[in-house]
Amino acid sequence: MRKYLATIDLRYVQKPSDIDAARSGTPHVVIAVEGAGFTEDSLDLLDQSYTDGLRHLQLVHYIHNALGDFQTERPQHNGMTELGVNVVQWCNRLGILVDLAHATNPVIDKALEVSATPIIWSHSAITTTQYSWQQSSNLSRGLYLDYAKKIARRGGAVGLWSLQSTVGSSPAGYANELMRMVDAIGPEHVMFGTDLDGVGKYGVMDRFEDLRKVVDLLRERGVDDKTLEAICFENYARCLRTAMEARRI
């Protein structure tokens, strides 16, 4: 990833001042990993990953690992394991932002209990119905409202994905869903989601330029600049900065 970024002259976030530079108009990428199964080999690999540029780590994904359960398969651990707890605390120590996307409710509860810094949910949608692993992935991957509120109360943020079954067939639908989330958990805790191109043909957006369309639509509807900035950049930046500044090494 670093080699690729170098070929296109795009910087990556290494320290809090890089967030300020991005805010001022110099684009930066945050290097992230979706699924922390590699920590099963050794927690020391987190130190090496940090050195290599990792600043955002999602605990679980679609493949079973020893950290905890995920939403789309039968639970194996009844929540988060001791290794999962150790990984969260290790990330806190290093200054890596923890991402709970794909995690089950018991994993969320434990992560929020043991983390010293806010935690994010990078992508899916907030639901008012609790779904289980036995249902389709677009349903089971939803974040139940009560848990979205828990993440928000701890200072975290929830990102919206661009899945058509959730947001409809246009950027306008994505804008609508963002504002529904704002009403549900507050403008300080909603953000653009990751995985814009991660849902393939089922997504309504797959280019970062499409987010500009969402901003323009929201502005046309009278959404104030403070709320727009929070959703587009500031909420994620705040969570990332808080994690990075908590580094204890």
Ranges of beta strands (E only) in the chain are 11-12, 28-29, 32-34, 56-58, 97-99, 121-124, 126-127, 143-144, 158-160, 190-192
Length of the chain: 249
Identify the CA nearest to 133 among candidates 98, 103, 111, 112.
103
pLDDT at 163: 94
Query: What is the tens place of the pLDDT at every residue in 45-89?
Result: 999 999 999 999 999 999 999 999 999 999 999 999 999 999 999
What is the C-alpha separation between 65 and 107, in angstroms, rounded?
A: 13
Give me the pLDDT at residue 29, please: 96
- pLDDT tens-digit map of 168-200: 999 999 999 999 999 999 999 999 999 988 888
pLDDT of 206: 81
- Domain locations in the chain as residue ranges: 31-245
CA–CA dist 133, 73 (Å, integer): 5
**What is the SS3 assignment for 103?**
strand
- pLDDT class for 208, splitting at 50, 70, 90? confident
The correct answer on CATH 3.20.20.140 for the domain covering 31-245 is: yes
The mean predicted confidence, pLDDT, of the chain is: 96
Q: Helix (H) and strand (E) counts for the chain?
A: 12, 10
**Model pLDDT, residue 88:** 98
* Best CA proximity match to 156, nearest among 45, 74, 89, 237: 237
